[in-house]
């Protein structure tokens, strides 16, 4: 039975036609031809396999060659570089030197390193006022955007900070910091320790500096002065005991440089707080030049100390362009007959017109000799003080006038005005105190110094004028205090000798510079002084003399050692 069925099946298979094997449209399955369904597979040829194998062999060869080069040829270089990636060099900033006043009071010192990102010390300043122009400000070390220092030291920008910059900076140190992959510090190693900068001790007394600034500031505010300056100087050594310029700027604000709004206020202030009026301010001196012209007249023997000249309030000379008219040169008041001491004491303009330019029977010095003698006392030259920029000033003369006024000739009236410290005359307050010091010590023109003089100071030029002539001038300046224009300094506890000056300013002389110079004690001078209040109203009666009176009254209580 089974055999019959097997033969039947074989027979049925033999009956299948070849055409029935292939598909046609009627029995075609739904293949996705885009996915290559229903297509016959083909074997990959040998060429791609050989090409791919060669490609990987080339990569393996290049990789092996590079590893060999890195390990054998450049291994030492990358080892060092890898170590440096873990070891960082760090600057150890030195402590900048401290600045003290003559009594050991700290004026500038260094802050503690409190902030995490603060590598260097910031400068800290005392509360004493009036020190900005003396001390000056600094620029701190600076970083680039990558955190690396491109300025590794402090840079003093002005004053003592600038002049003694290298001395106060010291030397920075260096250390190596080892960090792990997470930048955690593992160890620190010092290569070089930092060396602190040297300290500086100044000759100024911060207490006097502070109170002087307060007096000048208050008077400027109350009266309307543009600014002011005052200096005290040792007669026998040139030491500066105080040197105040008002207004001033805030040292910390400028050094930090962060408060842009406050800095802009200083920059735009029309009263110029960055101007050190003591050394860079040029001011018309007025009558404070008269003692120097009197010395010149005595030394040139054009007048004796006892000869009197009459002041009726003015003098008249023919007008050079209209002879029938007279040119009037006024005195500030009629003084009557005055000799040299009285003329200094009451500040007679007529007397100094006569000995300066000549009048009637009185021979004058003339503009050339006036120039010669005021230069002898240091006007129109730098004083040589350390640490400060100085202006030289102007002494009017024919050459100067021709240059400034387009070739105009010099006239006798120009000599008269120069003789009383007007016209184009301009000086610095430091020149003024240096010159009056030479009167007080009878001919020693010192180079002023802001530092304490340890031994006798021989840094001076000797002015070759007889001591007896200096004595006459000193007597006239004492008389100015006892009965003349400086009567406000006639104090019961101190004998002072002085000379005042009022220099007219503005187109209509509506402003004045108010000066006073002098020395004390009168018999044996110890210190000289100058005070100048800049461009106040002409009707005002308070000025430089008022500043010095307040100071001497304060010193009598608080610093009597200087009186």
Q: 307 and 167 in one domain?
A: no
Q: What is the pTM of this model?
A: 0.83
Domain end point (choices 201, 221, 248)? 201
* Residue span of the structural domain in which 117 resides: 90-201
Is the pLDDT assigned to residue 389 strictly greater than 70? yes
Which residues are CB-contacts of 116 (< 8 A; sequence separation ≥ 6)? none
DSSP 209-248: HHHHHHHHHHHIIIII-SEEEEEEEETTT-BEEEEEEES-
Integer CA distances (angstroms), 530 to 96, 288, 294, in order: 33, 10, 19
168 lies in a domain? yes
Q: Which residue, among 497, 494, 467, 492, has the nearest Cα to 479 in the 3D structure?
A: 497
The top-scoring range by mean pLDDT among 4-18, 252-266, 429-443 is 429-443
pLDDT score recorded for residue 176: 80
Q: Which residue, among 418, 470, 469, has the nearest Cα to 441 in the 3D structure?
A: 470
6 lies in a domain? no
pLDDT score recorded for residue 10: 47
DSSP 80-95: HHHHHHHEEEEEEPPP
Confidence band of 51 (pLDDT split at 50, 70, 90):
confident
Q: 395 and 313 in one domain?
A: yes
Confidence band of 50 (pLDDT split at 50, 70, 90):
confident
pLDDT score recorded for residue 146: 76
Among 8-17, 24-33, 124-133, 158-167, the least confident range: 8-17
pLDDT score recorded for residue 25: 54
Q: 355 and 467 in one domain?
A: yes
Q: 230 and 182 in one domain?
A: no
16 lies in a domain? no
Q: 173 and 124 in one domain?
A: yes
- The string of pLDDT tens digits covering residues 407-455 is 999 999 999 999 999 999 999 999 999 999 999 999 999 999 999 998 8
CATH code for position 138:
3.90.1310.10
Q: What is the dihedral of CA 222, 244, 229, 241, to 10 degrees?
A: 130
Q: What is the dihedral sign for C-alpha 558, 208, 502, 348? A: positive
Q: Which residue, among 277, 283, 349, has the nearest Cα to 535 in the 3D structure?
A: 283
- Euclidean distance between CA atoms 385 and 163, whole angstroms: 11
CATH code for position 394:
3.40.710.10
**Backbone φ and ψ of 95, nearest 5°:** -85, 125
490 lies in a domain? yes
- Euclidean distance between CA atoms 204 and 449, whole angstroms: 10
- The string of pLDDT tens digits covering residues 173-192 is 987 876 665 566 666 666 78
- Euclidean distance between CA atoms 402 and 422, whole angstroms: 17
Residue recorded with tokens 């369904």: 37
Q: 312 and 172 in one domain?
A: no
Q: 300 and 224 in one domain?
A: yes
Three-class DSSP category at 499 = strand
- Euclidean distance between CA atoms 490 and 549, whole angstroms: 9
- The string of pLDDT tens digits covering residues 201-225 is 999 999 999 999 999 999 999 999 9
Confidence band of 149 (pLDDT split at 50, 70, 90):
confident
Q: Which residue, among 518, 531, 16, 10, has the nearest Cα to 227 in the 3D structure?
A: 531
pLDDT score recorded for residue 112: 81
For the sheet containing 173-179, what is the strand order?
87-92, 173-179, 185-192
83 lies in a domain? no
pLDDT score recorded for residue 432: 98
- Which regions of 447-487 does DSSP assign to beta strands (E)? 460-462
Helix, strand counts (H, E) of the chain: 18, 22
Both tokens of residue 510? 């509506």
Confidence band of 295 (pLDDT split at 50, 70, 90):
very high
Integer CA distances (angstroms), 298 to 364, 422, 432, in order: 11, 22, 20
Domain end point (choices 201, 230, 259)? 201
pLDDT score recorded for residue 116: 57
Q: 314 and 407 in one domain?
A: yes
Mean pLDDT, rounded, for 500-510: 86
Residue recorded with tokens 């990558």: 146
Which residues are CB-contacts of 556 (< 8 A; sequence separation ≥ 6)? 491, 493, 494, 563
Domain end point (choices 154, 177, 201)? 201
Q: Residue 359 CB: number of other CB atoms within 10 A?
A: 20
Q: Do 170 and 152 form a contact (C-beta atoms < 8 A)? A: no
Q: 220 and 148 in one domain?
A: no
20 lies in a domain? no
Q: What is the dihedral sign for C-alpha 194, 196, 197, 198? A: negative
Mean pLDDT, rounded, for 12-16: 52
Among 95-99, 118-122, 320-324, the least confident range: 320-324
486 lies in a domain? yes
- Euclidean distance between CA atoms 203 and 144, whole angstroms: 39
Q: 331 and 422 in one domain?
A: yes
Residue recorded with tokens 């990987």: 56
- The string of pLDDT tens digits covering residues 61-92 is 787 777 777 676 676 666 665 555 566 777 88
Q: Residue 126 CB: number of other CB atoms within 10 A?
A: 17
pLDDT score recorded for residue 335: 96
Domains in the chain, number: 2
Is the pLDDT assigned to residue 2 strictly greater than 60? no
Q: 225 and 187 in one domain?
A: no
Residue recorded with tokens 């350390």: 386
Mean pLDDT, rounded, for 232-261: 96
Q: 216 and 194 in one domain?
A: no
pLDDT score recorded for residue 48: 76
340 lies in a domain? yes
Mean of the per-residue pLDDT values of the chain = 89
Q: Which residue, among 37, 27, 207, 39, has the nearest Cα to 131 in the 3D structure?
A: 207
pLDDT score recorded for residue 481: 98
393-402 contact pairs (CB < 8 A, 24+): 393/282, 393/426, 393/427, 393/428, 393/431, 394/282, 394/424, 394/425, 394/426, 395/370, 395/371, 395/425, 396/367, 396/423, 396/424, 396/425, 397/367, 397/368, 397/371, 398/367, 400/424
């Amino acid at each position: 039975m089974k055999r019959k069925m097997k033969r039947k099946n074989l027979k049925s298979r033999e009956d299948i036609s070849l055409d029935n094997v292939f598909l046609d449209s009627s029995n075609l399955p739904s293949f996705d031809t885009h996915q290559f369904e229903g297509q016959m597979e083909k074997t990959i040829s040998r060429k791609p396999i050989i090409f791919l194998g060669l490609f990987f062999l080339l990569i393996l060869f290049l990789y092996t060659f590079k590893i060999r080069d890195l390990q054998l040829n450049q291994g030492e270089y990358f080892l060092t570089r890898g170590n440096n990636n873990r070891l960082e060099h760090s600057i150890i900033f030195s402590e900048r030197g401290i600045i003290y006043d003559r009594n050991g009071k700290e004026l500038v010192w260094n802050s503690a390193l409190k902030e995490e990102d603060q590598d260097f010390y910031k400068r800290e300043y005392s509360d004493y006022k009036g020190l900005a122009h003396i001390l000056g400000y600094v620029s701190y070390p600076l970083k680039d955007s990558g955190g690396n220092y491109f300025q590794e030291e402090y840079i003093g920008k002005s004053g003592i900070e600038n002049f003694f910059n290298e001395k106060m900076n010291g030397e920075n140190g260096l250390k190596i910091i080892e960090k792990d992959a997470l930048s955690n510090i593992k160890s620190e190693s010092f290569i070089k320790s930092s060396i602190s900068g040297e300290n500086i001790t100044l000759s100024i007394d911060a207490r006097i500096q502070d109170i002087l600034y307060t007096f000048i500031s208050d008077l400027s505010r109350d009266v309307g002065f543009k600014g002011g300056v005052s200096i005290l100087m040792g007669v026998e050594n040139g030491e500066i005991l105080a040197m105040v310029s008002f207004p001033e700027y805030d040292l910390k604000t400028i050094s930090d440089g962060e408060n842009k709004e406050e800095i802009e206020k200083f920059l735009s202030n029309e009263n110029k707080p960055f101007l050190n009026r003591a050394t860079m301010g040029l001011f018309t001196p007025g009558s404070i030049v008269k003692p120097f012209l009197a010395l010149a007249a005595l030394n040139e023997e054009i007048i004796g100390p006892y000869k009197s000249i009459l002041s009726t309030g003015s003098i008249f000379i023919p007008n050079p362009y209209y002879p029938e008219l007279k040119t009037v040169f006024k005195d500030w008041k009629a003084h009557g007959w005055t000799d040299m001491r009285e003329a200094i004491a009451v500040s007679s303009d007529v007397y100094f017109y006569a000995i300066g330019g000549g009048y009637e029977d009185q021979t004058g010095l003339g503009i050339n000799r006036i120039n010669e003698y005021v230069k002898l006392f240091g006007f129109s030259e730098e004083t040589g003080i350390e640490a400060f920029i100085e202006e030289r000033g102007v002494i009017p003369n024919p050459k100067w006038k021709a240059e400034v006024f387009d070739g105009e000739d010099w006239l006798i009236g120009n000599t008269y005005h120069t003789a009383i410290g007007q016209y184009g005359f301009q000086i610095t307050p430091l020149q003024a105190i240096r010159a009056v010091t030479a009167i007080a010590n009878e001919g020693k023109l010192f180079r002023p110094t802001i530092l304490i003089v340890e031994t006798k100071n021989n840094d001076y030029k000797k002015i070759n004028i007889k001591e007896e002539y200096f004595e006459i001038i000193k007597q006239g300046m004492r008389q100015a205090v006892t009965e003349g224009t400086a009567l406000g300094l006639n104090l019961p506890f101190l004998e002072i000798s002085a000379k005042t000056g009022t220099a007219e300013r503005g187109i209509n002389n509506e402003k004045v510079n108010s000066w006073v110079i002098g020395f004390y004690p009168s018999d044996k001078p110890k210190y000289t002084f100058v005070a100048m209040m800049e461009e106040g109203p002409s009707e005002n009666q308070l000025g430089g003399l008022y500043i010095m009176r307040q100071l001497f009254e304060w010193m009598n209580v608080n610093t009597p050692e200087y009186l």
